[in-house]
Structure 1
Amino acid sequence: PHFLGYFNELAGGPGGGWRFFADSNCDWGQDREEGLAALKARHPGLAALGPWDGPRFGLLAGYAPWLQPPDPERPGRTYHWIRRFDPVDHYAAAWLVFQVGPADFRRAARAGDARAWEDLCLAWIARGELGEARRALDSAPAGPSRERLGALLEALARIDRGGARKEDWSLTARELAARGEMERALKLMEKAPPGEREGLLVLLLLQGKSVARAKAILENEMRKGPLEAEKALMVSCGLYWSGDPEGAARVLRSARPPGPGSPLEKTWEAFRRMLRKTLENERALRNPKKR
């Protein structure tokens, strides 16, 4: 009945083909809703992972076409933290069910999986258990990624204690979002001081495809007065990459441009030129010249 995502026994059957193939080789969307509903009926308490969700614990369903996202640590490569585990159930080739706990990450780490300790740290962060996260990170191999995670933990701890530095809000939001903790990043930014909140909140919402909510916040901010250059550039980039170059240009036009000699001056001008060219091309496509 699931011929589009069929794999023979050499590939591990429908529940094993995802290790060799991904994307439309496993599902074209035909089993996405039906498969998840069937698995939730079979496994009470099952939680479905989103396409960018970072490490976490529990009984989790992963949609096979989403299990090869870009690797934030190695550009041009793919990586998904759950691929180190074996599924306990599946629906056709579309959905895999995993039972994941701290011991599973530790086993993977002790078997030589260098990133398992960092992913365990992130899973504890998702739970809000910063002490456990620190203990996991202490076992991780040294390197830039571990250093960034350490800085993230320190910033989160300062925020929890009520002693956050100005830069802690942007550091935590960006790092959490990059590591698949979008919901936690959004909740964090909603608690941030007004001066630190809106630009990053809009950017995160755009990354999470919550475009309508992002634009509502943005419109409210713009009614208060011109945006500062850094915030405007960040929001404008978010709008551009979400497919709204006109909105991006509108933000830049209404903002305070960076002053002469500002570190943002060249970036601002380069982005403004790119926007202008994009809009010119779009207008040309909408209104082709008659021959």
Structure 2
Amino acid sequence: MGKYIVIQGQNIYDVALHIYGAVEGVTDLLVNNESVSFDTDLKAGDELIYSDDYQINKEVTAYYKMHGITPASGEQHVYPKVFSLPKTVEIYTSAKEVGVEFSVSGNGKIELDWGDNSEVQTITLSDKITVFSHLFDSTIGNKRHVSMYMQGHINQLDISGLRPIELYILKSIPIERFVLNNATLSIDSLPMLETAFGVSLDGLKTNDLTPLLELKNLMSLSLTQTIYRQPTIDAYLIGLVRQHDNRRNCKVVMTARPSGEYREPTRDSNSHYRITSGMEAVWVLTHEPAWNEGGIWEFIINETTYKYEQNH
């Protein structure tokens, strides 16, 4: 067991952060100090017993030690944080970020945990797109964890200003439009946006676009200035042909050109297309009459338009 001397301005959560690297360590403090509770007002010089072989986040405690930081945020009443809605989105952003923002419209509610000492922010959605910004009130040694607890219908959600380095969508979101521009991350969880008909991923750096194949309601996809290898976009375009069943027609805008020539691919003995390039996949999508009955497929690639024409 170790002994911790409380300094001026510290509360029990500050002490937990300092010793264990996470406020969840407050449980160990309560177990080892029977006279202490969540409501105890600590005074400078108070001694607390703690388990010195127990740490939750070693990176945080190492950061505090390296930089000589002792958390002392004064009186707070924000822990434990209580949520009434299901956790829906987890976003990790760099520990270097000072402030972030996002915009949203719709109907329903969002409860936000900004990943610092601030209270839970409850947002009542409206049809007007509203920007919500936040300045972090604490420093951390690792990436910051922002959580959204959601219920309702989202008209548009733009999380570009959160500058995520990791994105996890934990449950299906009823959503119409989603925007995530200028990010570097995996989009593996985007299939949870299955109702979305508009997605903007401009400036995205990623190794795999095939999760977008699950979004069969998409009618608009923007990939301008998106950075990926040519096989990455080819795999997505060829996948659109091979997994076309029950898919809406879509307008796709991109600046990087897929491989190959815009031409009809050869066919095998069963008259199935042998697609060998991304541009051949674009040709098929813009020439199959049955796939363009309800609306046409259109690709704008580096300002050149390829779309279904009736005389095809």
TM-score w.r.t. length of structure 1: 0.29
Larger radius of gyration: 2
By percentage of residues, which structure has more strand? 2
Question: TM-score scaled by structure 2?
Answer: 0.28
